[in-house]
Structure 1
Amino acid sequence: MADVWKPDEDDVVDLSQIGALGWLRFALRAIPIVVLILICLTALLLLRLIERPLFGLGRPITPFITQFVCRNAFRIMGMRFSVKGTQMTHPGAVVANHSSWLDIFALNAAKRVYFVSKSEVANWPGIGVLAKATGTVFIERNPRKAKAQKEVFEARLKAGHKLLFFPEGTSTDGLRVLPFKSTLFAAFFAQDLKEILWVQPVTVNYYAPDAEEKRFYGWWGEMGFFPHLVKTLAVRKAGRVEVVYHIPLRVSQADNRKSMALECERAVQRGHHFDSKDI
């Protein structure tokens, strides 16, 4: 595992290499995905008008819409999607490595979860609306708000939500797993939660299309979202993504948040299909 990794300067997607057929493939995939998202987002928002007053924080219906969208987005992309391992049924959270915006689709397609994201995402055009609608928890890197954010975590966990976050703190080129930061693990050790919560480590593996570099699906550094989206959808034959579920870890059996973060990191690393010789 690479303990230290800084994104190199090769983080620019050259759209001049796409070609006319590539742009046509992009349009033929992008348009159906946008239509799918808009139709299902409308249905989700209408259902939330009923769901919210009846169930409060509970969302017994709308997560299925999110899962439907993500699974069918992969079908439209022509990207094969597979799952290994057993998803936990215990109350708790999921942690995963972070390689791309595609992680959102992959992890939602595999399991009904609620993402934890940096607060800036709430203001991103389009993506912010989708994140809010699907119940994303937004956090700020502000020590003064740590207590309030911890309380939000606890409320969502008590409501039975499977919270999912990326402990690496940034996305990578998909060739490595960075050291896990332990900050967000602290909420699991609340006195009235640690005896009932579990954390499941998950590895997301991307396999590049034929003849493309191994980090084809990686989205890192200053790489723009739109160019990466175009590259992903314009490829002649898409690659595949694999979601690997590892054995859940019981919070009460961990010494502290740091030991829990390290154990999760090691599990995710073991499931990662690249190793040091590939980097």
Structure 2
Amino acid sequence: MSWIEEEPDPKPLGPLDWARAIARGLIWGILLLTGLIVLLLLRLIERPIHGLARPWTPWITQTVCRLSMPILGMGYRVSGRPMNKIGAVVANHGSWLDIFALNACQRVYFVSKAEVARWPFVGWLARATGTVFIKRDPREAKAQQALFEERIRAGHHLLFFPEGTSTDARRVLPFKPTLFQAFYSHGLDKVMQIQPVTVIYRPPDGEDPRFYGWWGDMEFGPHLLKVLAQRRQGSVEIVFHTPLSVADFPSRKELAWAAEAAVRAGLPYEIARSR
């Protein structure tokens, strides 16, 4: 991480806050569990017929994520349109809420660190929805590149967080060019496009601007509780930028810089502009 940011002090929750958090949590949990069960059952039919392709189940993921926003009480807005050509998506990473916000408006498959697959419930959701898990090990680089290529050629839009970590949702960190190398293998660069996407969080009135940010050593449970307990929520906006043709960039570094610049330009309050 190229910046140091202290975590905001947690606010004590009153009885009404706890009641709100429990009510929202129960409703949301039922939605997620129902969606997971339906998805797994449908996948039993989808897999033998379509194999790696997933023409049906992503609609369930998208619907569940879209319904999650009103359950949380968050405003939700989308600017621009997701591309429909072969390619991948890159976005800034400010919160665990990114997963729901980005899934709610498009059919994508996230690329995540391998540790997430072992997380209770979250790992089950990630595996069921087709997440690609990677290890940060140079010895795995070729195998991971082959996996990326297989999924991309199957028509999957993989979504990467090239910053390599989450932030306070107020800045964009320099994009790491390593994963962009996968887009230059076996002629993919001749046909692929990369769509930069900016995720913009607006905090609830009167709250810390970093309210939805989740970074560093912050624990998931307390942050989730804080969001569920919030009486008046803020909002999240997804901004789709013009796709970049990989063939227009001679190297992964130049492609990473261009994608980062597009994502950074879409964040109105972005404060970390030095590379």
- Contact 1:97–1:166 (8 Å) recurs in 2: yes
Q: Percent identity?
A: 56
Match of 1:11 among 7, 14, 28: 7
Instruction: Report what 1:42 is aligned to.
Output: 37
Match of 2:79 among 67, 73, 84: 84
Structure 2 residue matching 1:110: 3-state secondary structure: coil
- Contact 1:12–1:223 (8 Å) recurs in 2: no
Instruction: Report what 2:118 is aligned to.
Output: 123
Q: Is 1:149 aligned with 2:144? A: yes
Q: Is 1:96 aligned with 2:91? A: yes
Instruction: Report what 1:174 is aligned to.
Output: 169
Q: How many pairs are equivalent?
A: 273
- Flag as ranges the 4+ runs of structure 1 deviating above 3 A: none
Give the AA of the match of 1:223: M
What is the correspondence of 1:98-113 to structure 2 with a 5 Å cutoff?
98-113=93-108
Gaps of 5+ in 2: none
Once the two structures are TM-superposed, the CA of residue 276 in structure 1 deviates from its matched residue by 3.0
Match of 1:183 among 178, 183, 198: 178
Give the AA of the match of 2:157: K
Give the AA of the match of 1:19: G
In 2, Cα distance between equivalents of 1:19 and 1:7: 31
- Contact 1:114–1:136 (8 Å) recurs in 2: yes
Give the AA of the match of 1:271: G
Q: Is 1:240 aligned with 2:232? A: no
Once the two structures are TM-superposed, the CA of residue 19 in structure 1 deviates from its matched residue by 1.2
- Contact 1:44–1:65 (8 Å) recurs in 2: yes
In 2, Cα distance between equivalents of 1:276 and 1:52: 45
- Contact 2:172–2:270 (8 Å) recurs in 1: no
Could you list the per-position Cα deviations for residues 192-220 of structure 1 after superposition, in whole angstroms to 9, with x for gaps in the alignment? 21111100000000000011011100001
- Contact 1:12–1:224 (8 Å) recurs in 2: no
In 2, Cα distance between equivalents of 1:113 and 1:187: 17
In 1, Cα distance between equivalents of 2:235 and 2:51: 37
- Contact 1:22–1:234 (8 Å) recurs in 2: yes
TM-score scaled by length of structure 2 = 0.96
Once the two structures are TM-superposed, the CA of residue 13 in structure 1 deviates from its matched residue by 5.5
In 2, Cα distance between equivalents of 1:255 and 1:246: 21
Instruction: Report what 1:27 is aligned to.
Output: 22
Match of 2:218 among 214, 218, 223: 223
TM-score scaled by length of structure 1 = 0.95
In 1, Cα distance between equivalents of 2:193 and 2:80: 16
Cα distance change on mapping 1:13 and 1:50 into 2, 3 Å: farther
Structure 2 residue matching 1:241: 3-state secondary structure: strand
Give the AA of the match of 1:32: I
In 1, Cα distance between equivalents of 2:113 and 2:80: 29
Once the two structures are TM-superposed, the CA of residue 12 in structure 1 deviates from its matched residue by 6.1
